[in-house]
Amino acid sequence: MATIGELNQSDLHEQLKMEYSRGEGEIEARVDGFIVDVRLPDELVEIQTSRLGKLRTKLEKLANHHRIRLVHPVPASKIIAHVDARSNELARRRSPKRGRLEDAFGEIADIASVLLNRNITLEIALVDVTEYRHADGKGSWRRRGISIVGRRLDMIVSRKEFRTGADYVALLPEELGREFTNRDLGDITGWRYPAVQAITRALRKMGLLAIAGKRERAFLYRRA
C-alpha cells in the first residue's frame, strides 16, 4: 500500500502528464525560461486543474513562439476514499456531485482574453477520479478538518477542444435568437446559473458577445 506521501506524488496531475506525453514527450521541460508540463515535437502541453488565472503571463509569452495546449480537467464523477495514516483504505463512497463541460468556465473566464491567440488550444477533459482523504485534523473546516491527500485518474471520459472564436460561440444554442439574457441561456440549456454567468463573461472578454441593453434588470447579450 502506498504511503500518504506517495499518494500525493502519484496524483491526478502527474498521471495526466504521462497521458499527454504520449510516450514521446519530455515531462517538466524548460522552455524560454518556463517549466512546462510536457514538451511534444509539435506543441507544448500545460495541465492546470485550478487557478488558471496565474497562467496568463506564461501563456502569453510562450504563445509568441510555440503552439500550446492548455488542458483543464474537470471531474465528471468522483469516488471519495477515506484512508488512515498508513494510507490503508477505510471506506469509500461515490460523490453525488457531477462535473460538466460548462462548469470549467468558472476558471476559464479568468484568462478568456488570451485564449483566442492562434497558438493556444484549450482542451477541457472530463475525468473520473478517486480522491483520497485523511482525518488528520489539518484540512478545511468545510470538510471538518479532513485533508485531501491525493487524487488519482480513473479514466478520461471525454475531451473537447476550443481553438477559434467559432468554437466558443458554438456553445450558444441557435434558439437563443439574436439577443438573450443569462436566464434565457440557462432555461434553454439547463446549465447551472454560475456556469451561465461564467460563459457569458468569458465570451464578452473574448469580444464574442456584446451588451445590447437591458431587459428589466438583466443584461441583454448579442453575438458580436
Summarize pLDDT for 109-126 with one digit per residue, the tens: 999 999 999 999 999 999
Residue 9 has pLDDT above 50, yes or no: no
Percent of the chain predicted with pLDDT > 70? 96
Quote the mean pLDDT of the chain. 91
Please tell me the distance from the alpha carbon of residue 147 to that of residue 166, in angstroms, as a whole number.
41
CB 102 within 8 A of CB 53: no
CA atoms within 13 A on the CB side of 123: 16
Checking if the pLDDT of 8 tops 80, the result is: no
More confident residue, 133 or 40: 40
Question: pLDDT at position 1, please?
Answer: 47
* Residues 80-106: tens digit of each pLDDT: 998 888 878 889 999 998 999 999 999
Confidence at residue 86, expressed as pLDDT on a 0 to 100 scale? 80
Q: How many distinct helices (H) and strands (E) make up the chain?
A: 7, 10
DSSP track, 151-183: EEEEEEEEEEEE-SHHHHHTTS-GGG-SEE-HH
Structural domains for the chain? 4-163 (no CATH), 171-224 (1.10.10)
Q: Which long-range contacts (CB under 8 A, 24 or more apart) does 29-34 make?
A: 31/62, 31/66, 32/61, 32/62, 32/65, 32/66, 34/58, 34/61, 34/62
| Per-residue model confidence (pLDDT) at position 2 | 55
Q: Give the model's pLDDT for residue 100.
A: 94
